[in-house]
Structure 1
Amino acid sequence: MLIKNVHVDNQAALTDVQIKDGHFSKIAPNLVPDAGEQVIDGQGKVLLPPFVESHIHLDTQLTAGQPRWNESGTLFEGIRIWGERRQELTKQDVKQRALATIRLLVKHGIQHIRSHVDISDPRLTALQALLELKEEVKDQVDIQLVAFPQDGVLTNLQEKGLMEQAIKEGVDVIGGIPHMEFTTEDGWESVHYLTRLAERYDRLVDMHCDEIDDPASRNLEVLAADAYKRGIGDRVTASHATAMGSYNDAYASKLFGLLKRSGMNIVANPLVNVHLGGRFDTYPKRRGLTRIKDLTAAGINVSFGEDDIQDFMNPLGDGNMLDVIMMGVYVDHLMGYHQLQDSFKFVTYNGARTLHIQDQYGIAVGKPANCILLNAPDFYHALNEHREVLYNIRHGKVIAETRPAKTQLYLGF
């Protein structure tokens, strides 16, 4: 395959990209196609590595209204609703909804997914379903599974055993939710226990951490300290970290130093965080989002996820990462021209670093030929006009293609 006349990684210069044997073989202007080679004329549009979904829950997607709607819009009601819906899970139910969600994600240019999966169900129904599905779709999309103890790892006597069982069954990442443990001390102990477990079993770590508007919720510093002391920082992620939006600046400055020193990652989920956050405020009302702009300026890796699509946490969503970026740049004031042009990195290179796949990611000679062609000359226009992903290409083969809609106006002027 030869892709001609594209702006690779949103760069100003036009170039061509050639693919052989599933890898990028040449990147240079004016390449000549081999006899019979498939040619895609990029027509001056932007070519990026595929989008990375850093944080989603494939086991819960597409359950909005089941068994009831989250009318309060709070995180806590959402968790209660899921506790009811979880009782009805079957492998077929989970796989059917997860597969429908993956189709949406691939349509919008995603090839790499990190999915949390609830292991509070002693049957581990959702985990077993997603482990099967991960294998079935591996040629089209890469999935990392996070063992996620939705109810807390110390709140239930069975939970530690379920976590170890999930690890042995094949999860890639160890999750946690320290702010939902019974006490502050339990939250800290859960962090220590889970990071020790990650070391023992050689797993990545991704914890829901301080997803609450409480300035006293400070599990993130405990996780960062463990990541630093154990030397596993680049393998550790804190998701949400929304309490950071309530921290005072003096403490936040100290925390940033620790986060930077640890080398760990942060995942923001702008759509869901804004929707769920600030629900207990009157006015002024907090935005419910972590400090994306400040973290980025401090050199800390931040990536974005959609988190929830049409479920008890978010009744909307269709898997389009442009929606996630749009919310993130608006809410955290990342609206300078160059900030907007660079915002694709939150769902590409930063996401690859979060998933710890950066060595095999990106448009460079010798790397796997995974890329997307957007219907715009640069990312600013792609984001502003919500342009389509024209081609989603994996290992040199097109796995999704979109033909843009055409509008004809009859206005008389």
Structure 2
Amino acid sequence: MKIINARLRQQTALYTIIVENGLFASIQQQDQPVVLDASTAGDDIDAQGKLFCAPFVEPHIHLDAALTAGEPEWNRSGTLFEGIERWSQRKPMLSPDDIRRRVKDTLAMLIDNGVQHIRTHIDTTDPSLVAMSTLCELRDELKDVLDIQVVAFPQEGIHSYPNGEALMTEAMEIGADVVGGIPHFEYTRELGEKSVKTLIQLALKYDRLVDVHCDEIDDPNSRFLEFLAHEAMQAGIGDRVTASHTTAMHSYDNAYCSKLFRLLKHSSIHFVSCPTESIHLQGRFDSYPKRRGLTRVKELTAAGMNVGFAQDSIFDPWYSLGNGKLLRSLDFGLHICQMMGYDDFVHALDFITDNSAKLMQLKSYGVKEGHPANGILLSGEDDYSVLRNQGEVLFNMRHGKILMQRQPSTVIQRVSL
């Protein structure tokens, strides 16, 4: 298979990409545009100057809850905590068939929008652990199509939910790839700190990655991030740890953040921000001025720390919209974080590609010779044009095989102006 006239990120030339045995065998710069011979083309593709890049990475989503909004009740206040209550009502309705149907529908949506790598948080505060078992099964069944990391996520707390720690351990035995936590939702500060210690111990025991819902609240006194970063650093696993949300950082004063950033930098932990969900859930107790409630993405990035963007939810008790389009989350994130300078635009796709691949510790990720032939073609020629026009994913290729392909949207009739 050959792809001609393709543009690559941060490059102005056109390239020919040759795929053999599921790998990128050759990536060569062209001197000029090449014409595809239709009579001998076969599976070859003319990219027509459009951007070919590594697949999008979704580093934070809740597949077990996807497509359940309004079942059995809607989250009418729009708050995080009512979302947790509504999900508690929905959990008894879970079954393998229910989960498989919704998850597969959601995964199809993600594939259509260029995603191949997913980290999903699965609730362990359910004594049946049916979602955990089902997602681990689907992860293994679909490995040729998608990479899925399953997080053991204690939605209602490790130490505030009955038998919570034992359920986390059982989830690790079932096969979870990542240890999760939610220290700010534990009943007390002491239990929150205890939960961080517990999840770090589980990660060390089972040799797993860590991804913690950390300080997803407007409270400026919620400071579990510093505790997580220190515990990770002390355990020597900082680069294997991700702090998701950290929205309380939006409410921290600058003096504290200056001190905090020193620890965060030394710890080497990663960050995930979910722009559409956070702008919706946070600031709910404010009148005016009203906080945006996102973590300090711009400042973390400027300090050299790694931040990925994610969708978090698709039509669930916390977020009743969502369509699988990471470009939408990227657009929201850059606006909300006031990262609207040209230098921000030209590297914008980093937030939904390389940065998230790094925190997920994906191997052989990227359009490079010898790597698996995984990539997407976007209707734009660079990060800026794709972002500005919310470019369509024209095809999604994995190991040299096309998972999804669409024709570009075109206007067939327009009124004269």
1:83 counterpart residue number: 88
The alignment covers a number of residue pairs equal to: 412
Distance in structure 2 (CA, Å) of the matches to 1:208 and 1:72: 21
Choose the corresponding residue for 2:239, options 234, 237, 240: 234
Choose the corresponding residue for 1:312, options 317, 320, 326: 317
1:156 counterpart = 2:161: yes
1:4 counterpart residue number: 4
Choose the corresponding residue for 1:334, options 332, 339, 345: 339
Counterpart amino acid of 1:3? Answer: I
Instruction: State the 1:410 CA deviation.
Output: 3.7
Matches within 5 A, 1:159-174: 159-174=164-179
1:132 counterpart residue number: 137
Distance in structure 1 (CA, Å) of the matches to 2:208 and 2:67: 29
2:395 counterpart residue number: 391
Instruction: State the 1:223 CA deviation.
Output: 0.6
2:369 counterpart residue number: 365
Deviations 1:219-243 (A, max 9, x none): 0001100111111111000000000
Is the CA contact (8 Å cut-off) linking 2:13 and 2:30 kept in structure 1?
A: no
Is the CA contact (8 Å cut-off) linking 1:240 and 1:268 kept in structure 2?
A: yes
Deviations 1:4-38 (A, max 9, x none): 11121242222121111111111112499998763
Secondary structure of 2:135's partner?
helix
Distance in structure 2 (CA, Å) of the matches to 1:202 and 1:217: 28
Q: Which range moved further: 152-161 or 346-355?
A: 152-161
1:40 counterpart residue number: 45
Q: Unpaired runs of 5+ in structure 1? A: none
1:17 counterpart residue number: 17
Counterpart amino acid of 1:372? Answer: I
Q: TM-score, with normalisation over the residues of structure 2? A: 0.96
1:377 counterpart residue number: 381
Deviations 1:344-390 (A, max 9, x none): 00010001011011x31011111111010101111211111112100
Q: Unpaired runs of 5+ in structure 2? A: none
1:355 counterpart = 2:357: no
State the 4+ residue runs in structure 1 displaced beyond 4 angstroms.
31-37
Identity of aligned residues (%): 49
Instruction: State the 1:114 CA deviation.
Output: 0.1
Matches within 5 A, 1:8-407: 8-30=8-30, 38-357=43-362, 359-407=363-411
Is the CA contact (8 Å cut-off) linking 1:393 and 1:400 kept in structure 2?
A: yes
Distance in structure 2 (CA, Å) of the matches to 1:181 and 1:71: 24
Instruction: State the 1:70 CA deviation.
Output: 1.1
Pairwise CA RMSD:
1.5
Is the CA contact (8 Å cut-off) linking 1:92 and 1:129 kept in structure 2?
A: no
Q: TM-score, with normalisation over the residues of structure 1? A: 0.97
Distance in structure 1 (CA, Å) of the matches to 2:208 and 2:338: 35
Secondary structure of 1:43's partner?
coil
Instruction: State the 1:65 CA deviation.
Output: 1.0
Distance in structure 2 (CA, Å) of the matches to 1:190 and 1:338: 40
Distance in structure 1 (CA, Å) of the matches to 2:9 and 2:367: 8
Secondary structure of 1:215's partner?
coil
Q: Which range moved further: 334-343 or 33-42?
A: 33-42
Counterpart amino acid of 1:112? Answer: H
Distance in structure 2 (CA, Å) of the matches to 1:314 and 1:285: 19
Distance in structure 2 (CA, Å) of the matches to 1:159 and 1:60: 19
Counterpart amino acid of 1:391? Answer: F
Q: Which range moved further: 202-211 or 221-230?
A: 221-230
Counterpart amino acid of 2:44? Answer: V
Counterpart amino acid of 2:271? Answer: I
